[in-house]
Every structure is written in C-alpha cells, then in structure tokens.
Homo-oligomer: A and B are copies of this chain.
Amino acid sequence: MLAEIITIGDEILIGQIVDTNSAWMAQRLNEIGVRVKQISSVSDDREHILKAFAEATGRADIILITGGLGPTKDDITKKTLAEYFGVELVESEVALNNVLEIFKRYNRPLLDTNRQQALVPANCEVINNNNGTAPGMWFNHNGKVYMSMPGVPFEMMYMMDEQVLPKIKATFKLSTIIHNTILTVGEGESYLAERIADIENELPPYIKLAYLPKLGQVRLRISGYSDGDETLLQQQVDAFTNRIAERVSNVVAAREDIPLEKAILNMMTERGLTLSTAESCTGGFLSSLLTQHAGSSKVFLGGAVSYSNQLKQSILGVNAATIQQFGAVSEETVIEMANGALKNFASDYAIAVTGIAGPDGGTPDKPVGTVWIAVVTASKQLVKKFTFRGKRQQNIERSAISALGMLNTLLNDKVI
C-alpha cells in the first residue's frame, strides 16, 4: 500500500519553516504498513496543486494533504480540491458547529471569514478538528483516498492519530503489523548486534528486527507481519522481545517507544525516587529535557545551572581549592558538584555535568568535547569522562544523553 504526502503553502518553499509534519506522518504510516512513495511541497498556486494531485494519484493509493486551510486569501486548498473533483463548496454543519463552539469558548466575535472555515467540497466526509477551526476532509475517489488536513502540527497530529490512521486501517484492510520497541542506551549498534546475534538468527521471516540509532541510544524495533492470527503473532513477537531485552538488560531503559528521559521519569515515579541536577556545560539542556514532560515535577526537584565557578561554589558547595587544583572540568569537581546537589537539593539521585562544549575553551590537555559526568546517591556513585568530537550543540546533547544513560545504569543497579 503506497501513500504520498503533499504539503501546500509558501512557508516551506521560502524556508520560513522546516517541514516536520511529513516525517512524523511518514513514520506513523510506516508503522501501520503503508509505504510513502514521495513527499512534495508545492506553492499556493492552483495549477501547481492540481498537477501535484494528478501526479500523486498516478503513483499512490492514499494521498495525504496538509496546509492551505487557513481563512486568508492565499489558502486555496479547499477550492482546488473542489475543482479537482468537479464539485461545489458547501457549508458543513459539523464543521460550522465546531467553529461556533471554538469562538464561543474564547468569547470572540465570529467574522465572515471564520464562518467560511465551514465550507467544504460537496463530496467530502468531514473529519472533525478537535484543536482548531479548519476541518479535516476525507475523499473516496476512483478507489483512492485523499485526506486534507490543517498544517498546524498538533492539529494534524491529533487528527491523524485519533481519526485518520484508524480510518485508513479500516478502509484498506491492511495486514496486521505489530511493533515492539526496546530502548537501549550506552552501547553501540554493532556491539548490541553481536550480543543478540543468535536470537536474531532464529527470527522467522515474518518477524523483523531493526536497529534505530540516535545520539548514544539504540532503539530495537521488533516488527511482526501477518495476514492471519493476530494473537499468535503478538505472542511470538512478545517472546522474542523478552528474550532480547533480557539478554541486554544492563542497557535497557524502556520496553516501549518513548524518549530516554521519559523512561527514566517513569521508572523513578514508580519507585518514588527524586532527582536533582548540577549542570555546567549542558547549561540547562538536561533540565529542560526532563521538564518538557508532564508530571516531571513528581521526580525532578530542580537543579543548578552553575556556569560560573563562583556558582559552583556558592550553590553546590564545591571547594574553591578543588577547582583551583584540578580545574572546573575534572573528576574531583564533578563529584563535588553531584554531592553538593544531592545534599543542597535533598534528592535521592543527583547528576552533575561539567565540560567544554566549545568552540572555545579547549586546551591540549582538555580539548573541546571533554566532559565529566557524575551520578550519585547517598550510597552509590558512577563517574565517567567522555571525549566528544562534535560541534557545541552536539556536545551538549550527547552529554545530556550520556548522563541519562549513566543514571539508567545506576537505577538498574549494575554498580555498587
């Protein structure tokens, strides 16, 4: 089953925004067994859009369209869809009620342009937008499906997950696909592959294992494909997932497809543990990774971004003499930072990171990319030196992920 994604609007073509929607949609489609043949961004231009519809129709069964649904003049997706299908625009009661409700909620006057949001091509089925005024529109035409959605990422994402993907699955009777994910951190792809080679060799042809590496983490995705018994397939995929997860258990952070920091927050929430941070070179990035997740305040008490040596001393209680003798980027300093956070912030676990993110500040002894990380509890500690070779932002991100990997190790209790 093939799909194409067409993005309409000039924002992407003038480089004002990066098209993150398409990658997200492609990933979701792949997960239900739909391959994406082409992704196209086209301008707000009638002829160009019509041509893009025709070209995509020649290659794919499902055409997903985003953007061009706003209330302004440039937004011509609906008009052009109506022209493509040879139908009129009509007012949809479902869509109008949604618009009215949203304006009522925010207590704003309804302008004529807002009311026009409820106009849709006569041959479409309206898919309600629970997060905005632009309706989704589903078309069945000559055995192909066309789905037009707003370009605002979170409006599109909710619409896809809640309505479009289930509807595609129901319409096309796709084969069953089951995905299990194991999130690992701290071990390279090739080492992992070696450790589980015998299990991988036993996989039947309808169960595939994929290695998805990203910034010090590797996601192992075990996917089962079947046209037959779903329960049996699920059992088999689960059994292989369990064997693999047990084999590499020392580096496993989660048995589901979630970000590393979320896995750690879940684990610590379950055990009633708290965390604090002492960040130098990561400059708040580690904290912001954690705090982007709802509910993080149950685990994360807070931390210090101790960029200056003065703050390392005053907030974290690092000894001036330690910094003086060993430097701010050293094993001794990072341990004092971590213990300072543990004590001053009264948490069960504390992470400290100090390093040289670059591009300046490197020395022959401690080149750019040198990073010391410590994770401590009242009775355990893990301290490591890393030498990254990236640009500033890459070094910051790698440091944060490495710190979370070490915290995962300590939570998995593999060190004394």
Binding site for B on A (CB under 8 A): 12-20, 22-30, 35-43, 48, 52, 55, 59, 154, 212, 277, 279, 282-288, 290-292, 294-297, 300-308, 310-311, 314-315, 344-346, 358-360, 391-393, 396
Contacts and interface: CB of A to CB of B under 8 A. Distances in A.
Tally of this chain's copies: 2
A77 to B, nearest CB: 16
A23 B18 contact: yes
A327 to B, nearest CB: 15
A23 B12 contact: yes
Kindly name the residue among A14, A20, A288, A393 whose own CB sees the greatest number of chain B CB atoms within 10 A. Answer: A288
Contacts of A391: 154
A360 B293 CA distance: 11
Contacts of A212: 16
B18 A292 contact: no
Kindly name the residue among A38, A41, A346 whose own CB sees the greatest number of chain B CB atoms within 10 A. Answer: A41
A22 B13 CA distance: 8
Given A23-B12, A30-B15, A302 B292 contact: no
A308 B283 CA distance: 19
B311 A307 contact: no
A200 to B, nearest CB: 19
19 contacts: A12-B22, A13-B35, A37-B48, A38-B48, A39-B40, A40-B40, A40-B41, A154-B391, A284-B286, A284-B287, A284-B303, A291-B307, A292-B392, A294-B360, A297-B308, A301-B308, A305-B305, A311-B345, A315-B345
Nearest 9 interchain pairs by C-beta = A283-B291, A284-B287, A15-B27, A15-B26, A284-B284, A284-B288, A302-B307, A39-B41, A302-B311
Given A15-B24, A287-B283, A294 B37 contact: no
Contacts of A277: 305
B27 A295 contact: no
A354 B308 CA distance: 23
Kindly name the residue among A13, A26, A315 whose own CB sees the greatest number of chain B CB atoms within 10 A. Answer: A13
A285 B288 contact: yes
A114 to B, nearest CB: 16
Nearest to A28: B15
A162 to B, nearest CB: 15
A8 to B, nearest CB: 11
Given A15-B22, A283-B300, A310-B345, 9 more contacts: A12-B23, A13-B39, A19-B39, A40-B41, A55-B55, A277-B305, A283-B287, A283-B292, A294-B392
Contacts of A38: 13, 40-43, 48, 52
Kindly name the residue among A29, A52, A212, A315 whose own CB sees the greatest number of chain B CB atoms within 10 A. Answer: A315
A27 B12 CA distance: 9
A304 B304 contact: yes
Contacts of A285: 284, 288, 291-292
Contacts of A41: 22, 38-40
A18 B277 CA distance: 30
Contacts of A55: 55
A302 B304 contact: yes
